[in-house]
Chains A and B, each alone.
Chain A
């Protein structure tokens, strides 16, 4: 069906399912956002902490992205250490945010050997395909929701609020799946099973690509790739409007 360019829910190849963004879902976290695309749901929670900087960047804050594929999200997900799929998702979202310098990590030094750390945890709660776009949306929503706690003498004051986290721009991600010769966005779980390969493109600043990840065995031609870049800029506007 998909190989003929038709989709079981009647969507066109470039149509997303319904998108919702619910910021502040878990208010104990400094920032949180439950994002859903179709039936897929990802909750992003953000915690700030004090940590040692990376040795090669001693004055910069640290942003870490981790993904947890909860066994409640899909019959094939099992509890346990992260597998390649969840590591890939976390690293693709991370590279998008990092490349676009969404968080100004240069202003997060507290004192020598101590910097602010921002931990972004992505909880996949329901999996009906396109987890990367859903997770990227949840991460961005949670960053926009984040209140920076106060830091005193190199320690974090839990529950305090020194204002909103300053963000440079917003990153969103659009993933394309190739089924037969057709390319479509926002695949369902069933469409992903039929797909031979995926390209995920993160966009920033209106017309820049800030991360790309090809996954799956299929190859893409340069023409297909350039076409997907154009589509990702189009879809960016739609995703940004949902972030509010």
Chain B
């Protein structure tokens, strides 16, 4: 799964005989593995391995607001940061730190977490959600926000519901879910979404390419269907992490006696 891809891909290769370049059908997601509690220091953390993407998220807080004048007496402030590591792409060495793209993504990611976190419960505080793309292969913002959501839950921060990120797109005349890098670069449209499955709300919607009303309507239905699979993995990751913690507590208890 994490091997190198060096072959040249052309647009005509993207969708043939009902199958996508990696053999998936339009509704299939890439292999997805979510692990919660992967970092020691952070209050909550999560590693999302999604196709060839590897995105890690860490949560700190609620903590004192810095700089202090930004503090909101009615709610917690969300500080979301999405960045790509300079070595994360197949292309040349990138520049470290945020660029225009990642600043924009950080902004819309912040809006997602502002909605999902019960921010009113933590007035005058700040909650940091750091999302680092370690390896990228298309769909890193939705992978990052999916990871950030699990990291928040892993940190014990109450959420209205778990935000789920997933992208839809169009290749020729076919709508597909979960575009990889080739499908994003060579396809006709890319639509990253973040939704709350419980309420059916759309918290993030971006788009490029040209789509009709019907395309977008169908894309939403596909996203809500596909998001169930992502959500199951998020919940499973948290359960596994809690079980691991519970096992540790039990072992420690026995040692202490």
Contact assessment for A230 and B201 in the assembled complex, using a CB-CB cutoff below 8 Å: no
Q: Let me know if B205 is at the binding interface, CB within 8 A.
A: yes
Interface string of A185-210 (1 = CB under 8 A from B): 00000000000010100001101111
Contact assessment for B213 and A98 in the assembled complex, using a CB-CB cutoff below 8 Å: no
Bound Cα distance A48, B68 (Å)? 44
Within 8 A of A (CB), among B201-247: 201-213, 216-217, 220, 224
Contact assessment for A221 and B213 in the assembled complex, using a CB-CB cutoff below 8 Å: no
Contact assessment for B114 and A217 in the assembled complex, using a CB-CB cutoff below 8 Å: yes
Contact assessment for B213 and A219 in the assembled complex, using a CB-CB cutoff below 8 Å: no
Q: Let me know if B10 is at the binding interface, CB within 8 A.
A: no
Interface string of A216-227 (1 = CB under 8 A from B): 111111100110
* B222 smallest CB distance to A (angstroms): 12
Q: Let me know if B136 is at the binding interface, CB within 8 A.
A: no
Number of chain B interface residues as a range = 35 or more
**Residue among A91, A199, A222 facing the most chain B CB atoms (10 A cut-off):** A222
* B71 smallest CB distance to A (angstroms): 17
Q: Let me know if B253 is at the binding interface, CB within 8 A.
A: no
Bound Cα distance A207, B211 (Å)? 9
A219-B199, A222-B200 known; A199-B210 Cβ under 8 A: no
A-B contact count (CB 8 A): 104
Partner of B205, one of A98, A99, A212, A233: A212
Bound Cα distance A226, B214 (Å)? 9
**Residue among B106, B107, B202, B209 facing the most chain A CB atoms (10 A cut-off):** B202
Partner of B213, one of A56, A90, A199, A207: A207
Contact assessment for A222 and B104 in the assembled complex, using a CB-CB cutoff below 8 Å: no
10 cross-chain pairs, A with B, having the tightest CB-CB distances, nearest first: A219-B201, A217-B114, A212-B207, A84-B107, A214-B205, A217-B115, A208-B210, A99-B208, A222-B220, A220-B202
What are 27 A-B contacts with C-beta separation under 8 Å? Answer: A84-B106, A84-B107, A90-B100, A91-B100, A98-B208, A99-B209, A204-B210, A209-B207, A209-B213, A209-B216, A211-B206, A211-B208, A212-B191, A212-B205, A212-B216, A213-B206, A213-B207, A214-B204, A214-B206, A219-B201, A222-B217, A222-B220, A225-B216, A225-B220, A226-B217, A229-B213, A229-B216
- 18 additional contacts (CB under 8 A) given A209-B207, A213-B206: A56-B91, A91-B104, A197-B111, A208-B212, A209-B212, A209-B213, A210-B211, A214-B108, A214-B111, A214-B202, A214-B204, A215-B111, A218-B115, A219-B196, A225-B205, A226-B213, A230-B213, A233-B213
